[in-house]
Chains A and B, each alone.
Chain A
Amino acid sequence: MTFDHTTTEPLLSIRNVARRFSIPQGLLKPPKVLNAVNGIDLDVAPGEIVGIVGESGCGKSTLGRIVTGLMPASEGTILLGGRDVSTIPRLELARLVQPIFQDPYSSLNPRRSIAGTVAEPLHIHGIGESSKRFEKAVEMLDRVGLPSRFANHFPSQLSGGQRQRVAIARALILNPQLIVCDEPTSALDVSVQSQILNLLMELRRDFKLTYLFISHNLAVVEHIADRVGVMYLGRIAEMAPAPDLFAAPRHPYSQALLNSVLTPEPGAGVPDIGLRGTFPDPLNPPAGCVFHPRCPREFGPCSSRVPALLPADSGQGSGQVACHLANPEFSSPTEPLHVA
C-alpha cells in the first residue's frame, strides 16, 4: 500500500523528538546523559504501517513508549491527529493510541481473568455496566480468535500466542486509531508469529488501524510494513518504503543490517556484514555521524558533521537518508551510492 504524504494529513507526526536519561555516576561525579532518542522526525499516515528497525539499544522501544504516552519526551513535539500529545488528557489519549508489548507473559496481570483483562480499559473509562463490559470483552476476544470458553481463564492457562491475542484484544477494546506494537512477535514461537502478524493485518483492515511497528526482525517488518525507518543510536539513519529499502538500502548501516540476515543455505555460515568495531557506548557517542567509527565508507565530513535526514536520490525516490554520501554537497568521493 502506498500513501501520499504530501496530501493526506498525517495521523502521527513526530517532530524533533528526543529523550534523555540521566545516568548517575556515583555520589560525587555529575550524572551522565544518555540520549536514547535523539531528534527524530517521523510522519505516519492514517492506515499506514510504519516499521522501525534497529539493533538493541538503538532507542526504538523508547520511541514507542514516548508515542504511547508512557514516557514524556525531553524535547520536541508529537502530534496525534494534529494535536499535541502532551496536552491530550490521559483518558482521551488512551482512546487514540494503545500499545502491544513484546512479552505476553508480563503484559497480562496474572491475577485477572482474560475477559477481565480485556474489559479493564472499559472499566477505567466507565463505559457500560459490568455485564455489558464482559459481553463486549468476550466479543473482542472472539474477534481476535479466542473462543468464549477462554473468557474466565487466567493467563497462566494460556499459551504465548493466546496471551498475545488477549493483549491485542485489550489494545483494541477502546477503539484506538494508532497501535504501537513493540516487538509483538519476538517472544513467540515461529509458527505462532505468522498467525499473530496475519491477525494484525486483518485487524488493521477491519478496524482501520494505523501501526507503528517496532521490531528487530527484518523479515517481519518486510512482510508487514509499508514504510520502514532504520534507527541507529537514537537517530533515524534511513526511512524508505519497505520494498525500496529491502531492494536497495542506501545508508551503509541499512546495508549492513540487511546483510546480517542469516540465510537458510547450508554452509553459508555467518554473513560478513563488513562493519568494524562494536555498537558504541551510548553514554559516549561518537562525534559527527554516530555511525562513522564502524562505517566501511567513512570519508571527510563524517567524523565532524552530523548528517541530516534528507530526501535520497536528490528527491527522485520517496525515501530519506541521513548520510553524507547521499548529500550532493559532499560529492561522493569514490563511487555512487547504489552498490549494495
Chain B
Amino acid sequence: MATFSTIVRKVTAHRGLTLGLVLLAAIFAMAIFAPLIAPFDPYDQDLSRRLIPPFWSPKANPAHWLGTDNLGRDYLSRLIYGARISLLIGFAVMLISGLIGTLLGLIAGYFGGKTDLFITFLITTRLAIPVVLVALAVVAMIGGSLTVVILVLGLLKWDRIAVVMRAATQQVRSLDYVAAAEAAGASVPRIILREVLPNVFPQLVVVATVEAASAILLEAALSFLGLGVQPPLPSWGLMIAEAKTMMFFAFWMIAIPGTLLAILVFAINLVGDGLRDVIVPKGRG
C-alpha cells in the first residue's frame, strides 16, 4: 500500500519505535550470531575459574569480560546464547497463541449470537485457569523442556488476544464496508480475511507483542522455579535462578540477565506501541 521509503520515513519519525527496533535488532543479532560473537562455549565448565567478577572489579579477568558463574562458565557467552531461548519462546508462544486467539476472536466477533456465547465461555474458562499452576502440573507429568514450555504457554496465553480480537471484530463488523462486501456477494471467509482482519491488525500487533513480552517473563519465572527450561541450557530466567544462592556475593549474576530481560521486554513493548501508531491509517479527514 505505502511505498518502502514512506514506511521507513514513518518508522524513523517515531522515536519509541526506532529505539525499540534498534534494541530488538541488537538482541536478535546476538541470538542469530551467537556462535560467532560468544568468546567461549556456554557449556564449558572450568572449576578452577569459578565466580570471576566482571570487568569493573579489580579481580576481573580480561578473558571473561562479564566474569564466570559458579561452575566456571563464561557469563557473557551464556547471556548471548540465552537470548536465543528468550526470543524463541517469545515469538513461538506469540505465534501459537496469536493464531488461536485471532481465530477465536474473529469467529466470535463476526458471527455473534450463540457462537459468540460459546467462545466467550471458552475465554472465561481459560481466564479462570492459572497459567503457572497448569505449567507446574504439565511439567510434573511429562517433565520440563523448551518444547513443553512453548506448547504450554502457547496453548494457554491466547485468552487476551481472543478478547481483544473479539471486541475489535465486533466493532468492524458493524461498519458499512463489511455490509458493502456482503452486498457484493463476498463469502464469509473472504470478508473476514480481506475486510475485517486488515482493520483489526493494529490491535492484534499491540496485544501480540504484549503477550510475547509476558511469555518471555513467564518463561523466566518458570525456569526460575525450575519448571521451565532445564539446565544446562542457558536461559536468562534459569541464570537468575542459578545465581540466587550467590545473590549476596555476586549480585551481577542476577543483575545482568535481569537487566537484559527488562531491556528485551521494554523493546518489544516499544515496537508494539510504535507499530500501532504507524499502521493505523489517519482517522476521518
Contacts and interface: CB of A to CB of B under 8 A. Distances in A.
Interface of A: 65, 68-70, 90-91, 93-94, 97-99, 101-103, 105-113, 120-121, 124-125, 154, 156, 167, 170, 174
A156 B282 CA distance: 6
A154 B1 contact: yes
Contact of A154 (B184, B281, B285): B281
Interface string B112-127: 0000000000000000
Contacts of A90: 185
A94 B176 CA distance: 16
A98 B184 contact: yes
Interface residue tally of chain B, by bracket? 20 to 34
Interface string B267-285: 0000000000000011111
Given A99-B180, A111-B1, A111-B198, 10 more contacts: A70-B182, A93-B185, A94-B184, A101-B176, A110-B199, A112-B198, A121-B185, A124-B184, A124-B186, A167-B180
A107 B177 contact: yes
A70 B182 CA distance: 7
B1 A113 contact: yes
A109 B194 CA distance: 9
Contact of B179 (A101, A125, A154): A101
28 contacts: A69-B183, A70-B182, A70-B183, A90-B185, A93-B185, A97-B183, A99-B180, A99-B183, A105-B284, A106-B177, A107-B176, A107-B177, A109-B195, A109-B198, A111-B1, A111-B199, A112-B198, A120-B194, A121-B184, A124-B186, A124-B190, A154-B1, A156-B281, A156-B282, A156-B284, A156-B285, A170-B180, A174-B184
Contact of A125 (B177, B180, B185, B283): B185
B184 A103 contact: no
- Among A69, A94, A108, A110, the one with the most B-chain Cβ atoms within 10 Å of its Cβ is A110
Nearest to A159: B285
Contacts of A93: 185
Contact of A70 (B179, B198, B199): B179
Given A94-B184, A111-B1, A124-B190, A103 B176 contact: yes
Interface string B170-200: 0000011101111111100010001100110
A98 B177 contact: no
Contacts of A174: 184
A167 B183 CA distance: 12
B195 to A, nearest CB: 6
Contacts of B180: 99, 101, 107, 167, 170
Interface of B: 1, 175-177, 179-186, 190, 194-195, 198-199, 281-285
Contact of A120 (B1, B179, B181, B282): B181
Nearest to A69: B183
B185 A94 contact: yes
A106 B184 contact: no
B180 to A, nearest CB: 6
Given A70-B179, A101-B179, A109 B199 contact: yes
A275 B185 CA distance: 44
Nearest to A97: B183
B171 to A, nearest CB: 11
A287 to B, nearest CB: 32
Nearest to B280: A110
Counting chain B CB atoms within 10 Å of each CB, the highest count among A69, A94, A106, A174 belongs to A106
Nearest to B179: A70
A68 B282 contact: no
B283 to A, nearest CB: 7
A121 B195 CA distance: 13
A103 to B, nearest CB: 6
A69 B179 CA distance: 10
8 residue pairs, one from A and one from B, having the closest CB atoms: A94-B185, A107-B176, A121-B184, A101-B176, A91-B185, A111-B198, A106-B175, A109-B177
Contacts of A154: 1, 281
Contacts of A120: 181, 184, 186, 194
Contacts of A170: 180, 184
B36 to A, nearest CB: 40
A154 B176 CA distance: 16
B236 to A, nearest CB: 38
Nearest to A170: B180
Given A105-B284, A111-B1, A94 B183 contact: yes
Contacts of A107: 175-177, 179-180
A200 B190 CA distance: 30
Contacts of B181: 109, 120, 124
Contacts of B182: 70
Nearest to A93: B185
Contacts of B186: 120, 124
A170 B183 CA distance: 11
A90 B199 CA distance: 24
A65 B175 CA distance: 14
A101 B184 CA distance: 13
Most chain A CB inside 10 Å of its own CB: which residue of B176, B182, B284: B176
Contacts of A110: 199, 281
A177 to B, nearest CB: 14
